[in-house]
Structure 1
């Protein structure tokens, strides 16, 4: 992973996240963590890592939205079959997007598979593009911020043995990401309970 970042730098990070965001099986999130780890050692500028990740995620999801919008569910199902994704998982993603709209677009950024099919499903489900773009931007900024700045902070300021630093940064960033998702889910549950009562 690190050799890819050393060879292609921020351009490689952009392409990996961009492609992953509309369904291509690329290690975008892993490369983001790796890039932030390199930034913590002074080898990459952390703000550039964050900006590249957020922009690539936003643009990639919008490509996915266009694929879903113009291709419809049939094209989405065909693409998923080629990528080896089971039909029931696709139906599950579509149903989540239809039922929860913007919140699921935000949360999907942090969940494998949902992250890759987020834009495609929103487009196929007929979500309004402006609504999707706003929610997608929030999700991309949160996701890029958690993984880039979280990994950077722990890699730079957590004093652990050298051989543990990379793994510690990943674990710490994962914990931060889980906490963010847990807070969002708790907020959604509260809102749902308020609507029912």
Structure 2
């Protein structure tokens, strides 16, 4: 069963709660498909299954609360926490991943929390890493709230309206055109992912100092 079919089987109110929970848990630093769930819920909203407003509200709330809890965990656990996680989950918390995330914090400071909402790597590391690096909480909170609302609310709105337009447009669309549109979407997604990976690899991370960052 695909994720959209699974979500469609859930009552609308619980669907919104599930979206918030998945995104919140992902923001704690636990790798979950938060973005996929959000996009799927927004598409269901375009079909009238659930309210797009409540999807956006629950997703934003989950992102903000989850990141705040992640910040508290990171502040308490510090760097030893990431070292332990790196040994147990090298695919997500290995030295290279943490090094890239720290590079972003070193380069952008508090803005890394905001921008991190839009980058898969930083989305699960921003909260805990900001806490471990002792970023002042009030600065973190401002960036966290703005990033959570812009990412979750913006994604919901864009996908919702695209879904509404696409559903009307595809009613009289030929199969050839549909295949072409799908291939175009795949190519665009591939290009965006390549650009994101290139941005994450920017700079020589071996020279980045691993000490506390002045934010």
> Shorter-chain TM-score: what band?
0.7 to 0.9
- 1:150 alignment partner in structure 2: 158
Structure 1 residue 20, shift from structure 2 partner:
0.7
Matched, 1:3 2:5: yes
Tell me what 1:99 maps to. Answer: 107
Looking at structure 1, the residues matched to 6 and 66 of structure 2 have their Cα atoms a distance apart, in angstroms, of: 20
Residues 74 and 127 in structure 2, CA contact (< 8 A), matched pair in contact too: yes
Between stretches 23-32 and 80-89, larger displacement belongs to 80-89
Counterpart of 1:161 in structure 2 is 170
> What is the Cα-based RMSD across aligned positions, in Å?
2.5
Does structure 2 retain, via aligned residues, the 8 Å contact 1:22–1:63? yes
Give the equivalent residue in structure 2 for 1:17.
23
Q: For the residues of structure 1 that align with 2:6 and 2:85, how far apart are their CA atoms?
A: 27
1:56 aligns to 2:62 (yes or no): yes
Deviations 1:14-43, CA, capped at 9 Å, x for gaps: 111011112212111101000000001111
Which residues of 2 match residues 176-195 of structure 1 at below 5 A? none
Question: What residue is the counterpart of 1:192 in the other structure?
Answer: none
- Spell out, residue by residue over 1:114-152, the C-alpha distance to the aligned partner (whole angstroms, 9 max, x if none): 110001111111100010000011111110122100000
Q: What TM-score does the superposition give when structure 1 sets the normalisation length?
A: 0.79
For 2:87 and 2:157, the matched residues in 1 are separated by 35
Equivalent of 1:29 in 25, 35, 44: 35
User: Which has the greater radius of gyration?
Assistant: 2
Q: For 2:118 and 2:84, locate their aligned partners in 1 and report how far apart those are by CA, in whole Å.
A: 25
Tell me how far 1:80 sits from its aligned partner. 3.6
Contact 1:4 1:12 in 2 (8 A): no
Alignment pair present for 1:68 and 2:77: no
Matched, 1:42 2:51: no
- Whether contact under 8 Å (1:105, 1:132) holds in the other structure is yes
5+ long unaligned stretches in structure 1: 186-197
Distance in 2 of aligned mates of 1:147 and 1:77: 33
Distance apart, 1:4 and its partner CA: 3.4
CA–CA separation in structure 1 for the residues paired with 2:88 and 2:6: 26
- The alpha carbon displacement at 1:113 in A equals 1.3
The Cα offsets for residues 64-104 of structure 1, whole Å up to 9 and x where unpaired, read as: 10111111011122124323332122122123213322211
- 2:22–2:34 contact (8 Å) kept in structure 1: yes
* 1:117 equivalent in structure 2: 125
User: 1:101 and 1:64 mapped to 2: Cα distance?
Assistant: 17
Show structure 2 runs of 5+ residues with no match.
Answer: 200-215
Work out the CA distance in 1 between the residues paired with 2:149 and 2:86: 26
Selected match of 2:84 from 65, 78, 84: 78
| Aligned counterpart, 1:135 | 143
